[in-house]
Each structure stands twice: as structure tokens, then as C-alpha cells.
Structure 1
Amino acid sequence: MNGLIMAAQLLLGLSILVILHELGHFLAARAFGIKVEKFYLFFDAWGVKLFSIKRGDCEYGIGWLPLGGYVKISGMIDESMDTEQMEQPVQPWEFRSKPAWQRLIVMLGGVVVNIIVGIFIFWMLTFKYGETYVPNNSVQNGINPGVIGKEIGLQKGDRVIAVNGNKVLRFDELISPKVLLGNTNLTVIREGKTIDIKVPDNILNKVSDLGIEEFISREPLLTSTIDSVMSGKPASKAGAHKGDRITAINSVPVKYNVDVIQEVKKLKGKEMVFTVNRGGQSLNLNLPADTAGSVGIGFNIHEIKIETIHYGFFQALPIGAQQAWVQFSTNAKGIWKVITGKVKATKAFSGPVEIARKVYGGQWIWERFWASTAFISIALAFMNLLPIPALDGGHVVFLIIEMIKGKPLGDKFMERAQIVGFVLLLSLMVFVLGNDIFKAFIK
């Protein structure tokens, strides 16, 4: 069932974004009097379509190949590779008959809409839900680093107070792109001393393999103080009380909640001795064995302060725009890391399987669905701006060259460029899909 939910969310989210992206091209073309012959969600490869309807001079439909969508603009060398049309005399309603600046706007229409959609969704989510976060100055017990964090020198209980000299205001900044993109300096307080720890350029390679929790856990540390005791469980039978501070388990010192959890897991099905501090007095509690590996205690989550900022309708707009900009710039920095060899392409690029698994997830939560869709909308805007023939960015580059030269590039050149672009895109699709399958099912 989780797989179906993931697939359904991915299909719905991408369908919305593809339709809106192509609508951007469609509306811009119509605004300049350019004829649009087709408007399709998915590709009707080899003329096979699931649905189509003709309205005016445009055919609207759904193709069978779910690799995006397209609008066929009259008089343009695009996915259709309609060379016969290009050999006919230029007509006033055709793309090629319009000034370069108008054609440039048409090509940027999809990207602009994707950016607007991303900003709009982030805006609405901020207005409806506000911003909920853990203030970093309230994290008194520090961080719980995983394998990756420990490798770079972080320790359990460290308090990270600054990133590249800038004060950390929110705990989740520690696992944000500005840290994970690497080449970052963390200012850490450890046992009253201030030290600096460098996050290497290639940290994303390891995070991609092992997960973000193996860098720094999303959950700050709690003390080992018992906050609740479940009736009938080993801790209750041994006489544990709310407020007891566990200091050792079978003589192994423990300080934080994760220490207790780790030791209990090791001793699953065995009797345990909890040494606790109760009102300044040290006591030993003999816990009977439990095959489930649960001793029946809870820790005080209220040690972590959570704040929510609510915004008015217009106050939320700049917050949403800032979130969109962070996503866009993060994509750009990530691509640059790949180009410069700091991050492997297999770690940086994700296809539909990984997006369904890690972005949308196996539960249908509308807040997460829309946040994920906004994230992907910004990513699509960025990807479409890449200067690859067959993408909007490739057409934009050719149009800018035309505007500088004062004359258009030849049709033969454009046709060959489109073919090269298709090959590159197809290769990229095969790569990311294969990479997804490797990560999900083999690795």
C-alpha cells in the first residue's frame, strides 16, 4: 500500500507541475498570436494517445508515455521534429515569424510558471501552518551525531552555535543545505570549550549513502530522566518513578535518552539493573527480562522547546519566496558540486523512484504533499534552465545568440542540436532511473 501511495503522489504532483509548466508556454505563445497545435500531458509517442479532444485549432490530450508533457508550437523545431512544416513558407502565426524577444518570453514561460507555483505553494503553506522549529539556544543537551558526524569530529552532547561564523537560530539549520553542501565551518561548544569543526566538500556522498540521521540526528538529545512509566512493564515492576535519573545500566554509565535506548537494545530479553538518582539518592532497580526489548519508560520531550511563528496573509509571502529561492540556489550549488567533482553524480541525482520514496513518502499527508510538490516545482524550473538543447534553457541560449548576431541560427543546426539534446536527456533518464533502482532494490 505504501508503494501505491508513493506512486499516486508522484503521479499527481508531477502531472500538476507538467500541466502548469506547459500552460506557461501555451499562454505566452497565445499572447503573441502564435498558433499552438497540441497541448499534451505525457507523450503521445508514435501517435498513441489515451485521450484527446480538439478545441479551436489546438488538440488537447493525454499520451501514454509518462515522461512529462509538451505543447507543439507552430513553426518551431521542438520535440515533434516536424521538418516538413519548417520547409514551408513562414506564416504570420508561426513561432519563427516573431521577434526574438517574443520567442524568448515564450521559451521562458514554463520556467516562470514553475517558479511562481513554487513560491505560491510555499506562501500558502507558511500562511496556513506557520513555521514550527526548535530554537537552537533551547537545545541544552546538544546533538546526537551519527557515523558521519563522528567521522568529522562531532561528539554526543556538542552544542553547535554557529555555521561559518553566523549564529545558529534554529536547530534544523544543522542539517540544512548550507551545512550539507560542505566546505562549512561549525563552531561547537564542548565541555565549556569552543572548537571549530570542518564539514568536508564531499559530505553529501556519505549522507546520500547512509542518510541524514548518520550526520546529525533530527532529534536533539534528552536527558536520561524518566518522564513516564508504563504499568505492567519491567520498569514499573522494578519500582521506577517519574523523575528518576538513570545513571547506569548494568554498571554501564548512561547520560542521555539515546544511551538508555542503546543499552536496552543490547540487553533485550535479559535482566537489567538500572542505577537511578532519586532525589539525590542512588538506587539500584532490578528489571525483569522482557523479550520485546521494551522496559516501558518515556523521556521528557518537553526538554526540547518547540516554537511556531504564525504569519498574516501578506506577511507569509516573503517567507515563501525566500524558501523558493533557497531551493533554487541549493540546486545550483549542488550541480556545481557535481561539475567540479566534489559530489558524485550517483549521489546527487534522483529519479522518479527516489522522489516517490524520499520526497513524497508512503503516507498521504497533504502538508508534506504540497511542500514536496513546491520543492519539485523549483527543481524543474532550475533543470529546465540548463543550457541543454531540447530543454527550455537550450532554446534560450540559441535565442540569446541570435539576438547578439542579429540573425537566427540555421534550421539544420537547430535540428541537429535537438537530436543531440534528446540523446543527452534520454541518457540522463536512463542513468537516474538505473541509479534509483540500484539504491532502492539492490544496494
Structure 2
Amino acid sequence: MEVFLIKALQFLMAISLLVLLHELGHFTFAKLFKVRVSRFYLFFNPKFHIMSTYDTWVRRLFRLKPEVVPTVKDEDGKEKKEYVGTEYGLGWLPLGGYCAIDGMIDETNQKLSEVAQPWEFRTKPTWQRLLIMVGGVLVNFLLALFIYSMVLFTWGETYVPLQKMSQGMEFNEQAKAIGFQDGDILVSTNEKDFKKADADMYRMLCNAEEVHVLRHGKPVTIQMPEGLSLVEMAQTIPTFVRPLLPAVIDSVIPDTPADKVGLLKGDKILAANNQQVKSFYGFTDELTRMNDVLASAKTHADSINARLLTIVYQRGENIETASTLLAEDLKLGFAPATLYEPTTFEYGFFESFPAGIKYGWNTLSSYVSDLKYLFSSDGVKQLGGFGAIGSLFPSAWDWHQFWLMTAFLSIVLAFMNILPIPALDGGHVLFLLYEMITRKKPSEDFLIKAEYIGFGALILLMVVANMNDILRYLHIM
């Protein structure tokens, strides 16, 4: 429960910051061009809100110059003053936020008056409306680059370069059929050098025409086939490639199954449940198989059998056997031996900005390139909702990882919002570009229908993504 709360709090903090600044981007440009913003809310407030205040009170507090209040005539022809301030509020449903801009057809479903007013969005020049619409995306993108820059400045970049992994990598049967061998050290593709063991490594392998490796100290070139699937490469068990680490125990966590059966530092695991173990990840593959069996257990006895682990390990010259019943998290409770010391690359304050921009741009391009897999049956299964996103945050509070995840979500939010889909910022941008090119404004009836269709599609996508989370939690998918 504690882990869930820590992850949930980090997710809520990150998404609140991103939504607030995104809407502030729209708000700032709207105010710059003297467009009235009737409501500015963090979180949604169907039916009621937790807290709200009008900007007259905000202005009194900060002694800002009040807006001009226009005089209008009611139905009887009598003059009356109309309030033009912004209602700032905090909704009760923490799923986003909104900035209600007067004279604009959007998801707030506000009704437009028959007579367009000078302070409304629809009366402003096209270029001003375009800047108002891209304001949120622009803020999120620049925010991500700034966060990445500050993360590199504060913590630097720490990883083990692939070329320094002297034991090389281990490969699955698909990779070996292509020509790889266990122990190969990845050097480069025909386009660029490998950097570290991460998602980019898989992307480079997937897109490469040839891969250069060191095998027993000699350079070897491997010709890569076309049509490799990034999803299959990363998700098959065992995966296409991973660091070759020995299944040697470095330390044992107290009061865990490993501690109770007497495992010690230096012990080498040779087999698990009659399956030969050649590496640390080979051992974790067996735990993954056990987890699949446990997920399908129907009785208490099935659950007990699924959690029973028998290992064969070597201590010095002796070969010994031990059996233990694992908890439902299926963790034995040891840390593997560390072969490599990570390298930390530090950046000065001014150096961090170009490095952060490069880091952010690479993150965006990688995310965009991976979207092509979304249109496959396996890709749809990888869709995740709020649960999947929240699970990406660390289980213990870690500011470094928190800010990296926040920057990544900011990049994703910027890109997804600029897609040319009605109800998203990109949909409004698409119609504005059409208006700029053709000099014709789409009818309000068309915009309203497009908004409903786009909003319905987004709701459907959200339902599918969160349903996937539920199915994964129930071990059905």
C-alpha cells in the first residue's frame, strides 16, 4: 500500500504541474491578445468545485490594475455592467484541467452569443488564435527541455557504456539465428555507435542494416534482416539482447527466502526448478515463468506449487541444493554481483542546456518512431492508462527519477496535444491553418460536430487504455 501511495503521489504531482503549465500557456497568449478567459481550472469540476475565486480578488491581493468592465444593454434596453473577470478554481476530479476561452468552441461546451464581441477568441486575427492554441504545447515542450537540462546539470548522466561491458551481451534464439553470439560486445550500427543498454539500443538494432560487434577481441559485422519488430524484440522471453551478467550473489537481503535458506555472497546459481541458469537474467526468466503459472492458479494448492522454488548453486567447490516457498512477489531476495562501475558524465550550467535539448529531442523522436507499433494488435495491447503511467514512477521517493518522468510526460503531452484530432489543440490548429490557406472559416456547426467526434474518440481511447491496465492487473492479458 505504501508503494502505491508513493507512486500515486508522484503521478498526481507531475500531472498537476504539467496540466497547470499547459493551460497557463493558453491563458498567457489569450490575455496577451485581450481575449477573455472566463474560467481557469486545475482538475475537472463536473457539477461542483472545491474552490474558486474571481480575478478581482486576485487583483486586490496583488494590487494589479483591474480590467475594464464594458457596458451592455439588457433585453429592455437598460444599460448594465457585465463582469469580465476569470474564475480560478480547483476541481475535484484530478484528471486534467481546462482554460475556458470566450468565443471558442471547445470541450467546455460553452454557448456562443449571436453577436460576436471584440474580446472573444473568434473575433481575433487568425495568427493570434493560432498562437493561443499552440501556447500550451509550446510550454510543455520547452518545460521538458528545461527539466532535462536541469537534471543533467544537477545529477549528470550515469550509465555503463556498452563498449565497457567486457563480458558482452547474451542473445535469444532469434538473435543467434541472425548471427549474434553470447559474449558479443555491441559497438555500432551502420549509422552510429551504441551508447548504453536501454530502449535506444533496441531501436538501433531494429533499424540497422548491419551491426558491428567485438567477438573475442576481433571486429565482426552482422547483416541485419528487414522487418524486425521492436515490440517483439523487447518483450519476448528471453529478450533479443541484454547484458551478460553472472548469476553470482553479491549480497543477501535479511529476512528473505535467500537469507532463510542460507545463501551467501559469492554463491553462484546453476539451476532453478530443473532449468539450467547461465546468467542472472536467465534466473529472472524462471521467476517470470513462475509468475505466469501463479497468475493462472485456481486453488490454494496450485498457488503453493507455483511459488515453490528449488535452486542448485555452487559454493566454492561444492554443489548444493535448496528449496524455498516464495511470497507472491516471487522474489528470492539477493542482489547480483556488479561487474562494471558506471560512468558519470557531468555538465556545467551552460553545457547542460544543449545537452538537455539533445536529450529531449532524442526522447521525442524515439517516442514518435515507436507510435507505428500502436497500429498493430500487439501495439494496442501495450496501451496503458493512468495505472500504467503511475507504475513508471519509482516505488521509493527519488527526485532524479521523478523529474525525468515528469519531463517525459511533458514531451508526450506536448506531442499528443498537437496531433490534428478535433478536441485536441492540434485539431484547432488544423482548422486555423485551413482558414489561413483558404481564407474561409469552417462553420460553427461543423466545428461543434468535429469537437464531439474528436472528444468521443479520445474517451474511447482512454477507456481502452485503462481497460488494458485492469486486464493486466487481473493477469488476463
Q: Same fold (TM over 0.5)?
A: yes
For the residue of structure 2 that corresponds to 1:77, the secondary structure is: coil
Partner of residue 189 from structure 2, selected from 146, 159, 163: 163
Q: 1:193 to 1:234 in 2, by over 3 A?
A: farther
**Conservation of the 8 A alpha-carbon contact between 1:177 and 1:330:** no
Please say if 1:75 is aligned against 2:100.
no
Aligned residue in 2 for 1:43: 44
Name the aligned partner's letter for residue 383 of structure 2. F
Cα distance in 1 between the residues matched to 2:223 and 2:469: 33
Unaligned 5+ runs, structure 1: 277-283
Q: Which moved more, 1:326-335 or 1:196-205?
A: 196-205
Aligned residue in 1 for 2:203: 178
1:244-393 to 2 correspondence within 5 Å? 284-285=317-318, 301=338, 303-339=339-375, 341=376, 344-357=378-391, 359-393=392-426
1:440 Cα deviation (Å)? 2.7
Mapping of residues 206-225 of structure 1, within 5 Å: 206=232, 209=235, 214-217=239-242, 220-222=243-245
Aligned to 1:3: 4
1:431 paired residue number = 464
Deviation at 1:299, TM superposition (A): 7.1
Please provide the CA RMSD for this pair. 4.0
Alignment of 1:27-176 (within 5 A): 27-45=28-46, 47-56=47-56, 57-83=85-111, 85-87=112-114, 89-145=115-171, 154-168=180-194, 170-172=195-197, 175-176=200-201
Q: 1:388 to 1:256 in 2, by over 3 A?
A: closer
Contact 1:234 1:290 in 2 (8 A): no
CA offset digits 1:183-226 (Å, max 9, x no partner): 66433344446241637646333367558x73433xx3356899
Tell me, in whole angstroms, the C-alpha distance in 2 between the residues paired with 1:397 and 1:297.
Answer: 54
The answer to whether the 8 A contact 2:210-2:221 is kept is: no
Q: Shift in Å at residue 49 of structure 1?
A: 1.4
Query: Which amino acid is the alignment partner of residue 347 of structure 2?
Result: Y
1:142–1:157 CA contact under 8 A, matched in 2? yes
In structure 2, the partner of 1:187 is 212
Counterpart code for 2:358: Q
Per the normalisation by structure 2, the TM-score is 0.75
Give me the whole-angstrom Cα distance separating, in 2, the residues matched to 1:325 and 1:13: 20
**Distance of aligned partners of 1:199 and 1:322 in 2 relative to their CA distance in 1, 3 Å threshold:** farther
Q: Distance in 2 between matches of 1:424 and 1:320?
A: 34
Question: Which secondary structure does the structure 2 equivalent of 1:362 belong to?
Answer: coil
Aligned-partner residue type, residue 145 of structure 2 = I
**Conserved? CA contact 1:334–1:348, under 8 Å:** no
CA distance, structure 2, for counterparts of residue 331 and residue 77 of structure 1: 30
Distance 1:76 1:436, change over 3 A: same
8 Å Cα contact 2:163-2:186 kept in structure 1: no
Unaligned runs of 5+ in 2: 57-84, 254-258, 291-307
Q: Secondary structure at the match of 2:26?
A: helix
CA contact 2:21–2:139 (8 Å) conserved in 1 = yes
In the aligned structure 2, how far is the partner of 1:41 from the partner of 1:421? 22
- Which position in structure 1 is the counterpart of 2:23? 22
Q: Any conservation in 2 of the 1:272–1:288 contact (CA below 8 Å)?
A: yes
Distance 1:327 1:174 in 2: 10
* Matched residue, 1:420: 453
Shift of 1:93: 0.8
Instruction: Quote the residue 1:407 is aligned against.
Output: 440
Cα drift, residue 10 of structure 1? 1.1
Task: Please give the alpha-carbon distance, in whole angstroms, between the structure 2 residues aligned to 1:128 and 1:374.
Answer: 15
Aligned-pair distance for 1:423? 0.8
Deviations 1:3-49 (A, max 9, x none): 1222111111111100000000000100101100000112222x321
CA distances 1:236-258 after superposition (whole Å, capped 9, x unpaired): 8xxx9x8x9x8989xx9998666
Distance (whole Å) between structure 2 residues aligned to residue 326 and residue 347 of structure 1: 25
Identical aligned pairs, as a percentage?
A: 37
